[in-house]
Amino acid sequence: MTKSEFSRRKLVKYAAVAGASTALAGCSGGSDDQNLEEARSDSMDEGSRPLTWIGPAWAARDGQAELYKEVTGIDIETTTAAVPTVQQRVLGGEASSFDAFSAETSGAGALVNDNSVHIPVPTDDVSWESDTISDLFSSPADRLEHLGTQTETINEILWQDEEQTELKFPPHVYNFDAVGYNPEYVDEANLWSDVFDDQYEGRVALGATASITIPEALMHLVDQGMVDGKVGDLNNPTEEQLDAAIDFLIDQKTSGQFRSTWTAYGQSVNLMASEEAVIGDLWQPAALDTRRSGTPITYSTMSTGQKGLQGYRYWYGGISPTKAGAGGSRSNYAEIAKLIDIHYGANFPRFIQGYGYSVPHYPNTDLVRNGSDDTGEGMGPEYYDWAYEGQATYDPVDEPALFDPQSYDWADEEGEPSDEGGVRDSGTIEDRIDKVGFFQIWPDNASYMTDRWREFTSA
């Protein structure tokens, strides 16, 4: 990737977020060293104070804080907040209150690109080895070649420099979001188009986040030949494409296609668990929580559609040190780097797969599948092969649409997959990567998008 390619994308796309947070002068600008020197000087040495971390509940769970305390001896004070609230607080003058923040890729751009309230993390400071990191991150332009110019947006948020020696927004979780459906009412659903199928009129749960729902609609519209476009446009649409997608969604909403739209995770679970909705664009943890309520749900193995323009919605969540909060001593930065690094250890992949999420270093089978380190034990052969290789469980599973990986007793020794065992929804990780349809970002035309999106939410 050339320097011009790396820097060509317009930073003004984050103006809609930045404009809502006016007190930026004290938390952005200046060199990294200057920000470190001017930031609060209280040290975390010997656990004298907790590390402070703000992020959404899916990114900063209690189990992660407990693991960090076990490894470092330092407590974590976690503030749980939705991504827009993370943006508002970090950009709005509270950056000095937090040592680290988390978000996902459509929310992180406002924090690490336009406003630059992060500290880049050298790969040497964490366990980021290119030969044990998925090529989804180490070489997205090659691995996701079918996405065209969308891969530029991955590198833009992932790397601070062209040489790829510093991580701008270090990833710790990611997934390939899809359609979830109740198999008692829906035989099969493997396209975003299925959410708009009139046979499910009034039984659809649709997310109401503009930067997510619009590209889902665009994949349907472009694949069906209803809107002009190509795969490289899908995560960064033109105003004309935005108009077409939003007009379509307004028509779908007013005609009664959706049982309800949802903005909070719990809403989607309640809609599916109560069977008010039988199909929707869901996060995989929501699908698993629906199962835990006793309602069956299948998480789709997505198809790429008629023209190869549909597929999974790929995003990643990350952890970044804040400039103002990383402390006046380099030791504080080192402790925050440890927070990032424990997620590249042996224990975290096992913990987070219970929520359906994957980790960047899964190719390191010696560690993630078979090994251990100071963070704990790896996944073991049965769990790893089920999660990443598409293998069946060693024990039979009677009701696959109710299978819960958190309650299954995973074997630590090698065994044989059962002919009646359960397999992971959506297939192997390589199959999922092959069928990625778009990478989730905050688009260039964000101001126009949010203005028009109000028409959808009020329809």
| 377-413 pLDDT per residue, tens | 999 999 999 999 999 999 999 999 999 999 999 999 9
Output the CA–CA distances (angstroms, integers) from residue 12 to 103, 157, 366, in the order listed.
19, 15, 44
Cβ atoms of residues 299 and 221 within 8 Å: no
pLDDT at 136 over 90: yes
Q: Average pLDDT, stretch 5-16?
A: 38
Helix (H) or strand (E) holding 388: helix 381-388
pTM of the model: 0.89
**Residue 4 has what pLDDT?**
38
> Which of 14-18, 46-50, 417-421 ranks highest by mean pLDDT?
417-421
SS3 helix, strand, coil % of the chain, rounded to 5? 45, 15, 40
Residue intervals of the chain classified under CATH 3.40.190.10 are: 3-169+314-342, 176-311+435-458
What burial letters (b/e) apply to 326-353, b meaning 16+ CB within 10 Å? bbebeebbbbbbbbbbbbbbbbbbbbbb
For domain 3-169+314-342, the question of CATH label 3.40.190.10 is answered with yes
What does the alpha-carbon distance between residue 248 and residue 127 come to, in Å, rounded to a whole number?
45
Q: What integer pLDDT is reported at residue 36 of this predicted model? A: 39
Res 18 pLDDT > 90: no
pLDDT band at 324 (very low <50, low <70, confident <90, very high): confident
CATH of domain 176-311+435-458: 3.40.190.10
Say whether pLDDT at 311 is over 60: yes
Q: Report which DSSP code applies to 45.
A: G
Q: Which pLDDT belongs to residue 147? A: 95
Give the pLDDT band of residue 93 (cuts 50, 70, 90).
confident
Q: Which H or E run includes 52?
A: strand 51-55
pLDDT of residue 331: 65
